[in-house]
Structure 1
Amino acid sequence: MTAAVAFDFAGAKVLVIGASRAGIGAAIARAFQDAGAEVEITGVEPNCAPQDADRFAYTQLDVTDTEAVKTFARSRSSVDVLINCAAITRRGEEMAPDFFSHVLDVNLTGTFRCAEVLHPALSKARGRVINIASMYARFGSPKNPAYGASKAGVEQLTKSLAIAWAQDGIRVNAIAPGFIVTEQSARARENPDFTAAIEARTPLGRWGQPNDIVGTALFLASDAAAFLTGACIPVDGGYSVV
């Protein structure tokens, strides 16, 4: 079943923060566009991935720059769906306090900045927010302590915004991906023993692909999830239940 058959987002304005590279954000953006939505993406890079250059309106945006985020939001008066995907990690280097703080600024505070400044636009559309958390929100991560802490914060932020913004008709949910094959996970996947251990523990026996996340995103943004808010749904091939 294609995204266009399963969900109809014709006329919806969808904004994906952090979709410039080949990964979860870009896959979600393509799926919403295939389902009829008008999709805009952002990223910290000067340009988005070449394969998406002709598909989406793209804005270079640093989510740690409060004034830049505010300026970006001013020209967007109505947003039906906001997906917060912007995130960084650097396996094995996150014990340095300054870098630890930077990871939190991008992954957690950046998610809040974007959601907060777009609150009026989301309120106008009685929109939906989908934050990308991680299974590391619930597991210890000796090589990625900043990433894990930031994603735990994203899950908690999702719950808090769901309560705060329910009166505005805004639903706020999150997705917690497991081990996904992306540019961000490339460094970890250089270790064949680590890769094999993940596959051995995952009941479905493989790493996920970015497209494995899009069905959950489309569902959370649709009327099929009209009574769902404050949830964080794991999409990890069963890794978290072992």
Structure 2
Amino acid sequence: MAFAGAGAIVHATGATAAEVAAARAYGTPVSYSVLDVRDMTAVEGYSSQFTSVAALVNCAGVNLRAAEFTVQGFETVVDINLTGSMRSASAFRGALSNGGAIVNIASMFAFFGAAHAPAYAASKGAVVQLTKSLAIAYAGDGIRVNALAPGWIETAMTAAPRADPARNAELMKRTPMGRWGTPGDLTGPALFLCSPLAGFITGAILPVDGGYLIA
């Protein structure tokens, strides 16, 4: 919504028809499609319709918690969170050439271990290194690659800790700004990294966490 509000022509994808339908219910001027980032053929087919792209935001991600302690669950999370980002970056590289920007979504768990979600933390740590590596590799094509590292944001993924009074209080006590972040708190940083204002920034990992990492 923020990119559309800034005048961009926005195309967004969801993993399932249900996700796309839920997004369309907001009524924003965005073109939605179903796309499974685990399917390279599908990703390449989707990207082939674009000849020039200003920005790519890789935000497909899952957290399976207990299921991540199984090999299948671990592989699923890494395939979506990490390899999915690489598939998209690779498929859109040509269209992004000469001034495009990629923003990957990492996490504060790229810096911490996560006893409850080992695959999530591992994949997000790898997204940070992927971001730095592609920033170097794609610089010759005129493509900047950066990442956001969100902290505790009000999403469906954080419903459980928000609903637990003790855990909620623990997290807010450590967060200097004293509140949960919102999805809207991520849009400004994402727009900045995709804009000419960040024209000399690449390979950066920008925490958006209310100060949680430094507390």
Q: TM-score, normalised by structure 1?
A: 0.85
Corresponding residue SS for 2:146: strand
Correspondence for 2:29: 55
1:241 correspondence with 2:205 = no
Correspondence for 1:201: 174
- Deviation string, structure 1 residues 15-62 (Cα, Å, up to 9, x no partner): xxxxxxxxxxxxxxx111101111110001212424335521111000
Amino acid at match of 2:38: T
1:129 correspondence with 2:102 = yes
Looking at secondary structure, tell me which structure has more helix per residue. 2
- Deviation string, structure 1 residues 146-205 (Cα, Å, up to 9, x no partner): 100000010000000000010111000000000000112223333222111110110001
**126-135 or 89-98: bigger deviation:** 89-98
Q: TM-score, normalised by structure 2?
A: 0.95
Percent of aligned positions that are identical: 49
Aligned length: 212
Corresponding residue SS for 1:82: strand
Correspondence for 1:38: 9
Corresponding residue SS for 2:69: coil
Mark the runs of 5 or more structure 1 residues left unpaired by the alignment. 1-29
Aligned residue runs from structure 1 range 1-242, under 5 A: 30-46=1-17, 47-48=20-21, 49-123=23-97, 125-242=98-215
The offset of 1:135, in angstroms, is 0.5
- Deviation string, structure 1 residues 41-85 (Cα, Å, up to 9, x no partner): 000121242433552111100000111111111111111000000
Amino acid at match of 2:146: N
Mark the runs of 5 or more structure 2 residues left unpaired by the alignment. none
Question: Does the Cα contact within 8 Å between 2:56 and 2:101 map onto a contact in 1?
Answer: yes
Question: Does the Cα contact within 8 Å between 2:24 and 2:32 map onto a contact in 1?
Answer: no
Question: Does the Cα contact within 8 Å between 1:41 and 1:57 map onto a contact in 2?
Answer: yes
After TM superposition, where is structure 1 displaced by more than 6 Å over at least 4 residues in a row?
A: none
Amino acid at match of 1:209: T
Corresponding residue SS for 1:113: helix
Question: Does the Cα contact within 8 Å between 1:78 and 1:122 map onto a contact in 2?
Answer: yes
The offset of 1:132, in angstroms, is 0.5
Amino acid at match of 1:89: N
Corresponding residue SS for 1:89: coil
